Structure 1
Amino acid sequence: MCGITGIFDTRGKRAIDRDVLQRMNESQFHRGPDEGGLHLEPGVGLGHRRLSIIDLSTGQQPLYNEDGSVCVVFNGEIYNFQALIPELQALGHVFHTKSDTEVIVHAWEAWGEACVERFRGMFAFALWDRNREVLFLARDRLGVKPLFYALLDDGTFLFGSELKSLLAHGGLKREIDPLAVEEYFALGYVAEPRCIFKQAKKLPPACTLKVGRGGTALPEPREYWDVRFTLDQRIGLDEACHELERRLEESIRLRMIAEVPLGAFLSGGVDSSAVVAMMAGLSAEPVNTCSISFSDPAYDEARFAQQVAERYHTRHFVDRVESDDFDLIDTLARLYDEPYADSSAIPTYRVCQLARRHVTVALSGDGGDESFGGYRRYQLHLMEEKLRALLPLGLRRPLFGLLGRLYPKADWAPRIFRAKTTFEALARTSVEAYFHSVSVIRNWQRAQIFSAAFKAELGGYNAQAVFDRHAARADTDDPLALIQYLDLHTYLIGDINTKVDRASMAHSLEVREPLMDHPLVEWLATLPSSLKVRNGESKFLLKKAMEPHLPHDIMYRPKMGFAVPLARWFRGPLRQRVRDGLLGGPLLDTGWFERDAVRRIVEQHEAGRRDHSTPIWVLLMFDAFLRNVMNA
């Protein structure tokens, strides 16, 4: 795992300032503390920070082809590189290293832009071809590795693994995009391809960008892959279980290739436990596993992780996190560069910190919920879909819309009486309802806290547009497949992968993702939805396949997740921080928020009348972004 950055002159061959490039590169030192390298020539500068994983002695970057005309900086892993080397050698290419990085330069020479279609892995890379005078950028299919870029007013093109490397250049305008703010307050993150700053963008997953000289604008990224939920495979449960085991084993075996200490995260949930079970069967030595326990038993899954560790005799490391571990707010703001509001970033940061003390590479169970159908909200959505099917939208929208407006919000009441959200969902289309269910701050509440001036800047834009854009390309009318597709293009990339990449790289830890192996994701998308959610049981196929390998109470217990006690924090130890951040300072100085509405949220929460912990956290992390990034 590494950090990449660079500068390219789209208008000529102006000299690249080495000191500026070095500053951009060193801003990502945490991503690769082992080595650093630069490439400079007229109009081009590439930078690389290396975390050595494979080919420790000769895998330095920037890395070149035989005559030095092609140069690459690369972040990630090409898991099938060993299979590609002999194929490229047969085409006449000569290898001087044993690294996966060198496969990229020769694959570019052999297959051009289509080279990315041959790569199986997680990657973001930039390649300069002097003969063609082309800078080529690419990002992996599921957006595991990040890549930011910007075109400055003077024609200078910047790119980097993290936004901080672009900011280190000094020429990027720190002008916030109001539409990105709307997306953040709706989703908890800024969705690809948008960036919090107007001048910058994220390269979308499964896309490439070819930048040359001349012209006044950048070309649009080219998509080279997408998952298709065909659901057309005729397969029995037993056969599907055997095939899933085979594919999991293959994916995990590829991700166990390393020349440094390797292990796995073990939360005690189904996904990470399945990964550890498969790793144990493939390893002659005990698997290193890392877990965190919480001092608050309501959030602690350590006993379940211990069961799996004991069953497979792993070398198990556990770190205890106190329930008042809230001192990371400013650290996270500086780490993520953009506003980011998933509070599970705190325990994720801690488990990465623990893991790095014992291993350099850790396998995770991320991506399992999206592909296997694991989220609780999936089952709720499927129940709502059955109700929506009973009446046409023309009748549902006015009827349930009225009930949703009239019915009181009753967070305090037993679940059976909390019908307001359900009424609101039944008044919507499927995509509108799903967006509503995953929104961290709902439309009506954003309308209350945003000022009239900020709403004018939005010009009617609503983050719902992100979901509408992806839904239009989903090519499925299956209720579960549609929302899985939406999550694979939004939540997985913008929230989960962002969280894990920044938290792991903060500690120079490489995290690998066997459940996001794209052939596995493609195969699962051909299976009927009844193999994913059946009779109210989520991850049906994965659990059936893992029954011989994992204890019953690991797989068939309520899902917990990485939660933290926000509500209690905001009424106790963080009470003054909330007041300082939300009722004064840079947040209200923006003029984008209604002071009275924000104050009402804070006071209602403090008094215990309502649980506003989520909107308070979203506002607090935006305040932290303003203090630590915007005004840095």
Structure 2
Amino acid sequence: MIGGYIYKSEEEKISNRLKDILSNSFNLLQCYNHGFLFYDDNFPAKQTTSYSSENLTVLSQDLLITRDSDGNYTQIQSGNEFAELYRTEKQECLKKIVNDFRLIIVEKNRDDVILHLTSNRAGNGRIYYYQTDSGILFSSDIRFLFQILPFKVNDLALFAILKYGAVPEPLTISEDFFAVPPGKYLHYTFKDSSCRIKPYFQFEFPSDSEKFDETRRDEYLQPAKKVLRKSADFFSQRQSAILLSGGIDSSLYALYLNENYRGSIQGIHCTFGDSDPEFPFARELAEKIDARFLVGKMREENALQILEDTVRLTGHPFSDFSSMPIVYVLKFIKENVRNAEILIEGNGGDDCFGFPDLTSEQKFRIKNIFPGALKTVVSAIFRNSTSWKWESQNQLLSKILALTDVHERSPINYFLVLTPVNFLGLNTYRSWDSRLNDILEDGFSAYNPEGKNLSYQAQVTIRQLIHVNSRRWAAKAYSVGENLGLRVIYPYIWRDVLIEQGKIPWDLKTYNGIVKWPLKRLLEEYMPRDFIYRKKSGFVPPLVKWLTSPRFNGMVRDTLLSTNGNMARLIPSRIIDELLTDALQGKNLRHAILNFLWGAFFTERWIQNQQSP
């Protein structure tokens, strides 16, 4: 964890609390008699980039990787090296770092102090901050800030988690704390206490204007293949482990990693009980690269302990019920994998190279034709029906209800909605939808350089990468790994991949109806077609089965129906009771309902954990 406190004049309540917490277990970098930066020892000292001089202070605990003159990836080895880069390039140096990183820069000019706080480009790492009239307090872990100042639950953030699965920046789960959004940095000037958020990365989509040439199918893929292999070559020189799901993304990257790896790759797979349809494929891939293959078996009796670990280790609340197996497998790695400095995750492959909603424009436009008022009426009529919450045999009714379960101002945002909001009867203000929409749209538009008229596919890709992947999917492992001392890396969302994916024609990302065709095509060089083009089952834990357990179901019920609970302010108790009774009885609840229950439950438990003495 990294952080700091920069001030004109110290606020006693902040400085005293910081002194108590930082006295023993943190390292300090003083900043010109106007504050300090700090960092913990969760990673070895050699993996922390720090520098301090009379006019520049730098701090990061992430790898800082650039390209050398030959185009190969190389790590910045010291704070001195980065300081020299910054003095030469200033803020432009942020664009030269290819991996995801968080970075604090404090620069002293003649009569001012300038602070830069940088969040991940497309990963989940953020810098959180609290601004006062006299200074600014910040940290890469929002939970640390809760030890300094009161945690006031933000009800708009609760609604965002229930509806969209995550809180869009700069909002956070607490009313008084804010987050620097992905791909951006905060520019704070000491003299006038002003904060401005500026982008250091924006998406480009040359594919929007280039005509697709069928004869060049394989040629289009070569630049992306080249940068993926270069990053794999970089990690092949380090002690790396990789999560092997049996899917396309991790399999292709493991094969690239194996080409120059010194020794045997450590591949890790997580199964649920003794039946896992993806296990044979993960094992097949592991055997092909002669990996040291480790398998963690997560069983039903582990669920309650893993739940507590998930609440304790996760950096912020969001909705994705595959969080629990990710926490399980990371703890398994910590206990069973020796000398692994880096853990490679395959998230980002779908987002960059093809996902189903690239072809859903017409469906969303049809859904948007229905006025919001009509949807409200229809949902009220059918609220007592089971078709909106159970997997239904009445396909016609299910399709009608799916058209009325939510209304979005922008049709592109329908795919971001996780829950059937209209049927849940949440106790929220109508203005909340407008506020969240404005925050989302302001954020997404900032990734579009010069306000270009982007295609539907480009707009939905930005949303997929920034909201679905950065705020949800990458969140499952990132902060948990940090808390366990594991550095989790996502090479599919490195800068050069984000650039090259924008050049691949849209027709190839869903070629002949095959999503993620570019990666599948590249994998044909190594694996048989029945491995590549099979139906993928996905990494989904047995939450349905857990909810049929009276003990697990009872814990969820007690948590969400607590009279002093936070979610109780938004969710009618009738809805919680009804859905959990259905789950206990083994009803076939829809995926959207499971997301809703998990998001509400996990968020409530996470808040309780932060507010407990």
> What range describes the TM-score normalised by the shorter chain of this pair?
0.7 to 0.9
The correspondence of residues 34-183 of structure 1 with structure 2, limited to 5 A, is 36-41=26-31, 42-50=33-41, 62-64=50-52, 67-80=53-66, 99-131=77-109, 133-152=113-132, 155-168=134-147, 170=148, 172-183=149-160
- Does residue 241 (structure 1) correspond to residue 221 (structure 2)? The answer is yes
1:517 matched residue in structure 2? 494
Change (3 A) 1:438 1:128: closer
The equivalent position to 1:370 in structure 2, one of 341, 351, 359, is: 351
Q: Deviations over 1:523-547 (max 9, x none)?
A: 1112221110122210011111110
- Could you tell me how far apart the structure 1 residues matched to 2:27 and 2:571 are? 44
SS at match of 1:317: strand
2:283 matched residue in structure 1? 306
Change (3 A) 1:565 1:83: same
- Does residue 480 (structure 1) correspond to residue 457 (structure 2)? The answer is yes
Give structure 2 stretches of 5+ with no counterpart.
none
1:199 matched residue in structure 2? 176
The correspondence of residues 9-20 of structure 1 with structure 2, limited to 5 A, is 9-11=7-9, 17=15, 20=18
SS at match of 2:30: strand
SS at match of 2:510: coil
1:333 matched residue in structure 2? 311
- Say if 2:271 and 2:296, in contact at 8 Å, map to a contact too: yes
Shift of 1:8: 0.9
Change (3 A) 1:574 1:289: same
- Could you tell me how far apart the structure 2 residues matched to 1:241 and 1:98 are? 29
- Say if 1:185 and 1:440, in contact at 8 Å, map to a contact too: yes
- Say if 1:39 and 1:45, in contact at 8 Å, map to a contact too: yes
The equivalent position to 1:361 in structure 2, one of 342, 351, 372, is: 342
SS at match of 2:418: coil
Aligned-partner residue type, residue 365 of structure 1? G
CA RMSD of aligned residues (A): 3.4
- Say if 2:352 and 2:498, in contact at 8 Å, map to a contact too: yes
- Could you tell me how far apart the structure 1 residues matched to 2:555 and 2:369 are? 47
1:7 matched residue in structure 2? 5
Bigger drift between 315-324 and 536-545 goes to 315-324
- Does residue 542 (structure 1) correspond to residue 519 (structure 2)? The answer is yes
Aligned-partner residue type, residue 442 of structure 2? R
SS at match of 1:123: coil
Bigger drift between 609-618 and 350-359 goes to 609-618
1:625 matched residue in structure 2? 606
Change (3 A) 1:525 1:430: farther
The equivalent position to 2:261 in structure 1, one of 262, 278, 283, is: 283
SS at match of 1:362: strand
TM-score, with normalisation over the residues of structure 2? 0.86
Q: Name segments (4+ residues, structure 1) moved above 6 Å.
A: 12-16, 395-407, 427-430
- Could you tell me how far apart the structure 2 residues matched to 1:98 and 1:469 are? 34
Change (3 A) 1:321 1:117: same
1:229 matched residue in structure 2? 205
Aligned-partner residue type, residue 268 of structure 2? C
- Say if 1:182 and 1:462, in contact at 8 Å, map to a contact too: no
Shift of 1:245: 2.3
SS at match of 2:195: coil
Aligned-partner residue type, residue 469 of structure 1? D
1:497 matched residue in structure 2? 474
The equivalent position to 2:576 in structure 1, one of 593, 598, 622, is: 598
Aligned-partner residue type, residue 560 of structure 1? S
TM-score, with normalisation over the residues of structure 1? 0.83
The equivalent position to 2:330 in structure 1, one of 341, 352, 364, is: 352
Shift of 1:481: 2.7
Change (3 A) 1:302 1:428: same
Aligned-partner residue type, residue 129 of structure 2? Y
Change (3 A) 1:102 1:52: farther
- Could you tell me how far apart the structure 2 residues matched to 1:46 and 1:315 are? 40
Aligned-partner residue type, residue 455 of structure 1? Y
Aligned-partner residue type, residue 28 of structure 2? L
- Could you tell me how far apart the structure 1 residues matched to 2:17 and 2:458 are? 49
Count of matched residue positions in the alignment of Structure 1 and Structure 2: 587
Shift of 1:45: 1.3
Q: Deviations over 1:331-385 (max 9, x none)?
A: 32333353322111111112222333321212221111111113x4545x25626
Change (3 A) 1:404 1:133: closer
1:92 matched residue in structure 2? none
The equivalent position to 1:558 in structure 2, one of 535, 545, 548, is: 535
SS at match of 2:102: strand
1:33 matched residue in structure 2? none
Aligned-partner residue type, residue 363 of structure 2? E
- Does residue 442 (structure 1) correspond to residue 430 (structure 2)? The answer is no
- Could you tell me how far apart the structure 2 residues matched to 1:50 and 1:323 are? 34
Bigger drift between 13-22 and 100-109 goes to 13-22
- Could you tell me how far apart the structure 2 residues matched to 1:85 and 1:534 are? 30
- Say if 2:48 and 2:59, in contact at 8 Å, map to a contact too: no
Q: Deviations over 1:234-289 (max 9, x none)?
A: 5611212333322211132234454xx21211111100001101001122422221
Aligned-partner residue type, residue 146 of structure 1? R
SS at match of 2:194: coil
Change (3 A) 1:289 1:384: same
- Does residue 420 (structure 1) correspond to residue 400 (structure 2)? The answer is yes
- Does residue 469 (structure 1) correspond to residue 442 (structure 2)? The answer is yes
Q: Deviations over 1:566-598 (max 9, x none)?
A: 222122141211221122253269644423333
- Say if 2:361 and 2:456, in contact at 8 Å, map to a contact too: yes
Change (3 A) 1:60 1:567: closer
SS at match of 2:497: helix
SS at match of 2:87: helix
- Could you tell me how far apart the structure 2 residues matched to 1:534 and 1:166 are? 47
Shift of 1:199: 1.2
